[in-house]
Chain A
Amino acid sequence: MHLIPQSWPHLHILVSVFPSVGLIFVLGFYVTAFVTNNEVMKRSCLVLFGILGILAIPTYFSGDRSMAVLSQDPKISQDLMNTHFGWGLASLAGLVMTGAAALIELWRFRRVERLSDNALHLVLGLAIVTLGLMVVVGELGWEISHHELQLAPATQKTPQAWSHVHIILNHFPTVGFVFALGFYITALVMNNDVMKRGSLVAFVICAILIVPTYVTGAASMWALTDAAMPGISKAVINAHRDMALLTLFGLAFTGVAAWIELWRFRHLGRYSRRTLYLVLAFAIITLGVMAETGHRGGQINHPEIRVAMDILPTDSKAGWSPAIELLINHVIWFVPWQTVHFFGFSLVFGTALAVSLRVLGFWKSVPFSAVHRLLPLGVFGVVMNVFSGMLILHADSSRYLNEITFVPKIIFFTIGGIAVLYFSVSEGLWKVEAGEDAPMSAKWVAAVVLISWAGVIMGGRLLPYV
């Protein structure tokens, strides 16, 4: 294991995802700062834009040196590298301009002690344009060494689209988590409640995103191993899977603790210092596990980052994941966890139904704060289902993942999970007293929540039949 990059391609793989994925998360925080009109949050985002701008320097140099190294490799296309480099220059120029505009505005703020709306909007516009360029650069970059993405779908039992989505998706809960943690620590140091809430929301979103990431990872394993591919080892994949399992648990602990604090804050109007530090502890431990998971994931298909001292596993039966696969295939383990899965859905849908119907206008004699009390039951249901679902998936992942209702099920899960967050962060909805109607925006969210969770249940139930 070596976490410190010892080659230019390794450094480039590591550094280059921060500006792109980081930009999405910082933009999310920045838009939240505009919506809540929080000055401290805006300034914190400007600092983050500045840091992203500075990250353009190692990204450029590591990319330039990587080109020199990889041009010796006959499997790497020089044309693809040149196209990636050209778009990369444009996007890094955008990043530098965004960072420079942010830092200039911060410098100006020190003199006049007021942020200029025009400058803030300029930073927002530049960041959005840069993000668009980053999407193109990222896609071109992955094509350089991930040749499996070019395989004809007709020749694949498990489509390579899974690998493609996993390559993109895995950076969101990981890089996003780094930014969320940085933002969270800043919030704790500056004791800013809006920033604390923003970071807690980001932790919960990362925890939700780990589910589709884990699932697409499992599918990618089959896409890479259904037919033997040169250089791809099942044992190396299993080592990555085992750490991914720990990441799933770490993010679940962090996300649930963060969500509980968001829920408690609604009722008490203040944060519990103990829970905030518990979230911090979970987050720091999870980050360590996540770094190792990412490193092991990179070793699967990037021989250029391996060094002589790396001892790669060779036994494809070793590790926790194959052991879980073996165990869960016994009926005495499978049936109980499948039953837990059904109970979990009952809890989730029952809670979502009760809360959503109140928002939609049923039971107006009850204030929204009363039905909000029910939400932890639904969240425990989600936790039960993530855990039992992960076990059930291990029983026959190749079959489940290739069923046509599995993808909609996971998409609905992600949407439904994130939408439920609205119930605990919306100020307008929280103020809905007995006899009052909820805001129209809340009604739309309630409808999305109901449709999503109904979609999850139907997608899951149809798995063995269509």
Chain B
Amino acid sequence: MVYGNTAIIFMVIAVVLGVLGLAFVGTYYLNKSVDQSAR
């Protein structure tokens, strides 16, 4: 199967944004939970 360069670039951006987004949301809420509980 042949894919165009554009399709690959968009797929890379979508997957990376999705995965990194999950990681950063997870880190944000973990830190927030520690900040709130420490008060």
- A-side residues, CB < 8 A to B, are 260, 263-264, 267-268, 330-333, 335-337, 339-340, 343, 347, 373, 376-377, 380-381, 383-384
Contacts and interface: CB of A to CB of B under 8 A. Distances in A.
A343 B8 contact: no
Interface in B1-39: 1, 3, 7-8, 11-12, 14-16, 19-20, 22-23, 26-27, 30-31, 33-34, 37-38
B34 A332 contact: no
A380 B1 contact: no
A384 B12 contact: no
Contacts of A340: 15-16, 19
B11 A336 contact: yes
Contact of B30 (A260, A337, A384): A260
**Main secondary structure on B side of the interface with A:** helix
Contacts of A343: 16, 19-20
Given A260-B30, A268-B34, A268-B38, A332 B11 contact: yes
A330 B7 CA distance: 12
Given A264-B33, A331-B3, A332-B11, A376 B16 contact: no
Contacts of A260: 30
A388 to B, nearest CB: 8
A311 to B, nearest CB: 35
Given A264-B33, A267-B34, A267-B38, A332 B8 contact: yes
Nearest to A264: B34
Interface of B: 1, 3, 7-8, 11-12, 14-16, 19-20, 22-23, 26-27, 30-31, 33-34, 37-38
Nearest to B3: A332
A384 B27 CA distance: 14
Contacts of B22: 380
B4 to A, nearest CB: 10
B23 A380 contact: yes
A267 B7 CA distance: 44
A377 B23 CA distance: 7
A264 B30 CA distance: 8
12 contacts: A263-B30, A264-B33, A267-B38, A336-B12, A337-B15, A347-B23, A373-B31, A376-B30, A377-B23, A380-B23, A380-B26, A383-B23
Nearest to A266: B34
A384 B8 contact: no
The interface centre, meaning the residue of B7, B23, B31 with most chain A CB atoms within 10 A of its CB, is B23
A333 B1 CA distance: 12
Contact of B27 (A264, A331, A337, A376): A376
A340 B17 CA distance: 9
**6 closest A-B pairs by CB:** A336-B15, A380-B23, A267-B34, A336-B12, A332-B3, A376-B27
A353 B39 CA distance: 30
B27 A377 contact: yes
Contacts of A339: 12, 15-16
Contacts of A263: 30
Contacts of B27: 376-377, 380
A377 B14 CA distance: 20
Given A340-B15, A384-B19, A330 B1 contact: yes
Contacts of A267: 34, 38
B23 A335 contact: no
Nearest to B19: A340
Nearest to B31: A373
Contacts of B15: 336-337, 339-340
Nearest to A374: B27
A332 B27 CA distance: 29
A333 B11 CA distance: 8
Nearest to B35: A267
Nearest to A387: B19
Nearest to A256: B26
A380 B25 CA distance: 11
A340 B23 CA distance: 11
B8 A335 contact: yes
Contacts of A336: 8, 11-12, 14-16
A339 B16 CA distance: 7
Given A339-B15, A340-B15, A380-B26, A332 B7 contact: yes
Contacts of B12: 335-336, 339
A347 B16 CA distance: 13
Contacts of B23: 347, 377, 380-381, 383-384
A335 B7 CA distance: 11
